[in-house]
Amino acid sequence: MPRIKIELPEHFAFQTELGVRVGDLNYGNHLGNDSVLTLMHEARRRFLASLGIEEIGADGIGFVIADAAIVYRAQAFFGDRLRIEVAAGEFASRGCDFYYRVSHVADKRTVAEAKTGAVCFDFRAQKAVAFPPATLAKLRARMPH
């Protein structure tokens, strides 16, 4: 069976740390796959906030996630500190990709690698729209030159 392959960027523009909570555990007593997506969402929101971008702005323009791919590499357990690195790339007129690397703070082992496709969305009109120029400029400014 072919496996999903995600090509991560060499440089991540942002990183944050989050702890594995008891609610993040599954029946195997380790970090659940659904919780990895939740941790990535928190990290993406922090990344956007660091740029002065709201995931849904006062103007009703924001992001919706159109797709997600995650490759799991190692387990994480209750109390583990995880570093989540985030980068944006593959910009199109109405969207971009966000890339993530989740790793243990203690020993740097990679827990997961992931990519989400985000679409710029007008929540009032309920349709995809072009990136506001200021948002696009802020995201591109954090890319390596």
Q: Judge whether residue 145 has pLDDT over 60.
A: no
Q: Judge whether residue 144 has pLDDT over 80.
A: no
Q: Judge whether residue 75 has pLDDT over 70.
A: yes
DSSP string, 8-63: --S--SEEEEEEPPGGGB-TTSSB-HHHHHHHHHHHHHHHHHHTT--SB-TTSEEE
pLDDT for the residue 143 = 77
The SS3 assignment for 133 reads helix
pLDDT for the residue 57 = 87
100-129 per-position pLDDT tens digit: 999 999 999 999 999 999 999 999 999 999
pLDDT for the residue 141 = 87
What whole-number percentage of the chain has pLDDT above 90? 88
What distances in angstroms separate CA 34 from CA 39, 47, 68, 79, 118, one per listed residue? Answer: 9, 20, 11, 17, 18
Tokens linked to 17: 């740390």
Q: Judge whether residue 74 has pLDDT over 90.
A: yes
pLDDT for the residue 1 = 82
Domain segments of the chain: what residues?
A: 14-141
CATH superfamily, domain 14-141, is: Hotdog Thioesterase (3.10.129.10)
